[in-house]
Amino acid sequence: MGSSAQLAAVTQLVTDVVGAPAIGLYLHGSATSSELRPASDLDLLLVTDRSLRGQERTALLAGLLDMSGVAVDVRPIDMTVVVRTDIVPWRYPPKADFVYGEWLRQELEARGPLPPHPLPDLAVQLAQARECGRPIFGPPADVVTAPVPHRDVVEAGVATVPELLAEFDGDRRNVLLTLARIWATGSTGRLLAKDAAAKWALPLLPEEHRPVLRHAIELYRGCTYADETWPGPLAARARECAEFMAMEIGRRVGRMPGKRPPKTTPVR
């Protein structure tokens, strides 16, 4: 199943399960800001005019579990559902009504859909959808959502740093690139694709850390997670590179006027 077929299947699922309360479905992330890479998710944001009901949550989860994956011809789906009145007018942290991602698969299969909950990272998703999202259906994202202050986009990224470091051993490539993107966003005010953010960060790294991030860029551009390899010397230095970027993120945010203490989030 190609990406177009997956998007069509998700659209049909949303239409069948949610129906009229679905205001708009938006593709964002690498699919619209640069290009899909071998391991890229299909990042989707669904805006509704009310919270999903129990049966709708169960049916939407079942459909996504069936059509999302990491097989060669099936991309992982990352979907967040948000109720419009929870984000308009804007307040931080925003609340997600429903979340699906492959990193949650085991928990979702065991316990069912997550309940509505505050999700700082939703600020980043909304900013991406407003800036370069593509409507699958519905009005443009900037018509149905409120502007997201840059401060909140940066804070949302910073809130994920402890979790990223905790997950480093099992998700080395993604953690390094995500830290680079958080650093770049806080420093430049731009939402860059992961490889573009890493390219921005490279000259700011000490020389000994640059080969690590270059390798992460090469992996992102050229191979799936299943094909990922880390030569011994790079693997040995990778965590130090991640910790250096986390330190620089903290220094950058510490200089931002009006900053608030970071808040943690239960999902990535």
Q: What is the pLDDT of residue 13?
A: 97
Handedness of CA 49, 97, 184, 233 (dihedral sign): negative
Q: What is the pLDDT of residue 263?
A: 41
pTM (whole model) above 0.85: yes
Question: Which pLDDT band, with edges at 50, 70 and 90, does 266 fall under?
Answer: very low
**In the chain, which segments carry CATH 1.20.120?**
153-254
pLDDT digits (tens, 9 = 90+) for 212-231: 999 999 999 998 888 899 99
Q: What is the pLDDT of residue 257?
A: 39
Average pLDDT of the segment spanning 158-187:
94
For 223-257, b/e burial (b = at least 16 CB within 10 A) is: eeeeebebeeebeebbbebbebbbebbeebbeeee
Cα separation, 44 vs 51, in Å, equals 17
**CATH number of the domain located at residue range(s) 153-254 in this protein:** 1.20.120
More confident residue, 34 or 181: 181
Residue 192 has pLDDT above 60, yes or no: yes
Helix (H, G, I), strand (E, B) or coil at 35: coil
pLDDT digits (tens, 9 = 90+) for 68-109: 986 557 889 999 999 999 999 999 999 999 999 998 999 999
Residue 258 has pLDDT above 90, yes or no: no
Residue 241 has pLDDT above 70, yes or no: yes
Q: What is the pLDDT of residue 253?
A: 67
